[in-house]
Structure 1
């Protein structure tokens, strides 16, 4: 990108960017604090932007600046984890190459906008606008976060929360007293509805901003003395203060001096509500200091850019300077992260037999792909000893009330979820007995989630939230063997005493794992079939995907057989939930016992279509 030409200005030129769900604020200042540019542009929530969209958003900002910055700080909503911030940092580096950068979230920029304190104490940002969140930072860099989970399951004490409380309260008022009252009437007027029942279809699809706008009406009616509106605000103040104190308690013991910094329109534009929240905080947290934020969050971004410029120029942190202490990165050990190990993987090499794939006839292409797939069983059979150990361990886990988990990204993650979803109908197993975990969560089942597979911490947190223990088994699936999400999951599972397995199609990973000094990263078993290069180079949804499905089929089918879910080669614990499966259940019972199909159907009806119980009865 061409740098803008302009007259000389006091250096350094500092750029601050703060983005959220409503807008992005931009401020460019000179070395003396003079504002060189200030404007707003569209919303920017990191988790909702692809890499391409993020880069275009930053390029648009760069194109509107009169000067090239010497330091940049960007705080975006959704940039919570170290992986998120690294992704943001890479995008900034592509737009402003070689410019020192702080990549963080909008909560950090808000904290940085607060006035400096003479003595460093923990600070908790209490944010209440359309949504709400409490974010705290201790002087030693530890952080805590409470709330900020969206208006459906979180955002307590926000405009959305106040609007939702009001909707429920006025409808309850109508049901109990037969009339809406002043608040209900005012809300109908605000929404331009004529009847209370019109609120029902609207509420099902109401945008978040429209719900939040109802808070304006609640504040206005409360100001006229309406008891219901005042109670709604009082209750909201209690919950917001409780979240603020809960956030502080994650950093220091109750009673330790803490500064609570207020930000967001609900607090700053409504002094009476701010006083209510202040009283509640001081009641539950003695020795607290409350400070309304006077500067916008983007000013905090500028401050972070200033500190970064000073740090780079001085070669060290300036004594007494406030700065963002980045969250300690949870990173892969070097021997696992080394891309040379990836380069050794057969999955990354070119297949000499498919060099002319783009010129083959359809018939020849089909023959080639099937001949390559025919090599898979032999490669898996070479890993029979390791697979046997895993099957035996999974069977023991099932017998002792344990569970089997799969963790993977992309195709590997989807195949794990697929196998887990097929276990309940096939073996009448409880849904939680076999579980699939995919990097990026539910959305990743049908579309790519940017950066999900590279997030080591997310893999660890997924295991933590599923509460794995010593009685469970985790199979991490990574075709290349180095997927950070999978290794994060293995590391956390090891810490919890879980039996861990790596399924990979890169035999070179055995050497990399052998070089690990920290045993907490080592899986107890490695299954590494060499299925050779893919027909389409690097496309592990092909042979690697097929091999993954075969291995997972072997593990669950044989483990379920060992725990008595199979008699002969028949599924005696299937869940006959449709016509086809009920017909199969009748045939299974008839073949096992020699009874007529009518007798089998009658017995199944008597046992509630429990095939194994019907078998025991007829046997």
Structure 2
């Protein structure tokens, strides 16, 4: 949908774009901030769009407008520098050589407030309640704070979604308790064109966030008619919104300082009676508070930001930075990754496989296996470093510390794999060895675009695992240059943990202050398939990680001879193995070993102790 003004534009032109979970709005204004064109597109959460989809969205917007002189884009889900960089990169492909600022949709909404109206305020707090909810603020010093914004599963307190969902839950609860279908329930059935309560089950399973949020209007209608269920739901929503707003204000201002609360979103802007209650509560909890609705569409904030960067104020523009204490910034090394080394051997072409596409299949198999045969010897060249790594890991285990593997792509998956095998093999606590992969769980089976390029995300992963000086962190990076891994290693190093880098680029030139405690970089040579590090580099990684955990577990007593005496017999095959281990250790028959294990709840060491006591009592 496009709306245009008849006013003659005055250059320069500023394009503001705001992408939300429901829709995207673009607005073009001129130097006098006169509205020129408005365009709407579909929803745009940066976390739900890949790079190609993001470019297509921006291109559809560009086709609706003349060329701007500057633009700003605020998008839902844009929480990190990596997100903002993705938006800027996409914009540069659509608007070549045009200055672009990227942030999130909260920043644009707050910026839409006329700062002249709140000059006396120590801080401005945006209270947003529409389909979702969030509070976001900024004080005079430029510090920002945020409460909420976690989505409808984890957050969205006091939002249209929560109001609608609570209405559905309430009417079925009272139906079960009282045996009567409430008036609010009648309204909901009418709104949804359903005939009776049982039909709500299938409807709710198929309904999306926006559809459930739309039911909030029925709750407000019922509330105005004196419905008690609706009144209880909205009283709770009111309290949640006020509590979050005050909590956000406390992050940014002294309780006695003047604060301006700006109301935004359909729940707050379209329900004046509800809003009055919120305003009154805010003024009681925060004396001197000023509470006003957002007077203009929040996309105007993006227009203002575009004008600021065109005017040369870009240095003062800071995308949302939470006041929440997270990463110690100095822990994230700012490594010149492009200058750290020559081209990694893993990225070079292998002269033995130049005709790989033409070789007979039998020769291709022989070639691959002959390349893999050289891997152990290359790893042996790093034996001293690997030995020290095993000592660090076993020392950490003895002190109650943990081992973390950190990687992206194949490297990350191999770390997760080795970690997941430790509990069944050694009956270790699942917390003892952990894998961290760039992009999180979804990256285990699919590529997550840009995840490996975010060092701050790597540092945050270490922070939120509460890594300490008792732990060991192993970064795995085939080329040795993965930003996510370096962010994790830097944060771990800053927290006093032992740090180890496993890679396959012996030409790394790592600055001394960022250098891990141990660097293991065997030269396995170029991959048969150029750059495909799931091949030799992946095989070598698996061998090294096997050594780390197997020998560390041996050193802390989880192996006797070459037997897994802490095996967790969780299936038939492993229970049979446990019986045979008891037979080997104690020289008893199968039935005796099995009985001892059954009485010891299938804990091998307990079964051994039981048999030892029995033998001792017999001998005495």
Give TM class, smaller chain: over 0.9
1:274 aligns with 2:275: yes
Taking structure 1 as the reference length, the TM-score comes to 0.93
1:580 aligns with 2:573: yes
Aligned to 1:3: none
**How many aligned positions are there?**
598
Q: Retained in 1: the 8 A contact 2:184–2:219?
A: yes
Give secondary structure in 2 for the equivalent of 1:239: helix
Aligned to 1:25: 25
CA 538–342 in structure 1, closer or farther in 2 if over 3 Å, else same: farther
Question: Residue 516 of structure 2: which of 519, 523, 527 is its match?
Answer: 523
Give secondary structure in 2 for the equivalent of 1:571: coil
Q: Retained in 2: the 8 A contact 1:234–1:276?
A: no
In 1, Cα distance between the equivalents of 2:554 and 2:466?
26
1:468 aligns with 2:467: yes
Give secondary structure in 1 for the equivalent of 2:283: helix
CA 488–107 in structure 1, closer or farther in 2 if over 3 Å, else same: same
Pairs within 5 Å for 1:333-372? 333=333, 336-341=335-340, 343-372=342-371
1:486 aligns with 2:485: yes
In 2, Cα distance between the equivalents of 1:188 and 1:534?
63
Misfit runs of 4+, over 4 Å: 322-334
Give secondary structure in 2 for the equivalent of 1:98: coil
Q: Retained in 2: the 8 A contact 1:25–1:39?
A: yes
Aligned to 1:390: 389
In 2, Cα distance between the equivalents of 1:275 and 1:21?
27
CA 147–602 in structure 1, closer or farther in 2 if over 3 Å, else same: same
In 2, Cα distance between the equivalents of 1:288 and 1:462?
38
Question: Residue 604 of structure 2: which of 589, 605, 611 is its match?
Answer: 611
CA drift of 1:8 comes to 8.6
- CA deviations over 1:430-470 (Å, ceiling 9, x no partner): 11111111111111111111111111111111111111112
CA 253–377 in structure 1, closer or farther in 2 if over 3 Å, else same: farther
CA 8–194 in structure 1, closer or farther in 2 if over 3 Å, else same: closer
In 2, Cα distance between the equivalents of 1:132 and 1:429?
42
Pairs within 5 Å for 1:133-282? 133-282=134-283
Aligned to 2:53: 53
Q: Retained in 2: the 8 A contact 1:304–1:324?
A: no
In 2, Cα distance between the equivalents of 1:122 and 1:193?
47
Question: Residue 527 of structure 2: which of 524, 534, 539 is its match?
Answer: 534
Pairs within 5 Å for 1:434-449? 434-449=433-448
Give secondary structure in 2 for the equivalent of 1:567: coil
Q: Retained in 1: the 8 A contact 2:122–2:258?
A: yes
Pairs within 5 Å for 1:305-454? 305-311=306-312, 323-324=317-318, 333=333, 336-341=335-340, 343-454=342-453
CA drift of 1:323 comes to 4.9
1:594 aligns with 2:595: no
Aligned to 2:496: 497
Q: Retained in 2: the 8 A contact 1:241–1:280?
A: yes
Give secondary structure in 1 for the equivalent of 2:25: strand
CA 368–120 in structure 1, closer or farther in 2 if over 3 Å, else same: farther
In 1, Cα distance between the equivalents of 2:399 and 2:471?
9
- CA deviations over 1:69-114 (Å, ceiling 9, x no partner): 1101111111111111011111111111111111111111101110
- CA deviations over 1:117-139 (Å, ceiling 9, x no partner): 33463222111111111112222
Give secondary structure in 2 for the equivalent of 1:174: helix
CA 139–188 in structure 1, closer or farther in 2 if over 3 Å, else same: same
CA drift of 1:199 comes to 2.5
Aligned to 1:4: none
CA drift of 1:194 comes to 2.6
CA drift of 1:33 comes to 2.7
> Bigger CA drift: 117-126 or 398-407?
117-126
> Bigger CA drift: 8-17 or 416-425?
8-17
In 1, Cα distance between the equivalents of 2:402 and 2:497?
10
Give secondary structure in 2 for the equivalent of 1:360: coil
Q: Retained in 2: the 8 A contact 1:82–1:327?
A: no
1:543 aligns with 2:536: yes
In 2, Cα distance between the equivalents of 1:370 and 1:238?
67
Give secondary structure in 2 for the equivalent of 1:140: coil
In 1, Cα distance between the equivalents of 2:109 and 2:349?
50
CA drift of 1:295 comes to 0.9
In 1, Cα distance between the equivalents of 2:465 and 2:525?
34
Taking structure 2 as the reference length, the TM-score comes to 0.93
CA drift of 1:175 comes to 2.6
Q: Retained in 2: the 8 A contact 1:141–1:326?
A: no
In 1, Cα distance between the equivalents of 2:257 and 2:311?
32
Give secondary structure in 1 for the equivalent of 2:469: coil
Ranges in structure 1 where 5+ consecutive residues have no aligned partner: 1-6
In 2, Cα distance between the equivalents of 1:581 and 1:233?
56
- CA deviations over 1:570-613 (Å, ceiling 9, x no partner): 11111111111111111111122111111111111101111121
> Bigger CA drift: 572-581 or 245-254?
245-254
In 1, Cα distance between the equivalents of 2:43 and 2:341?
37
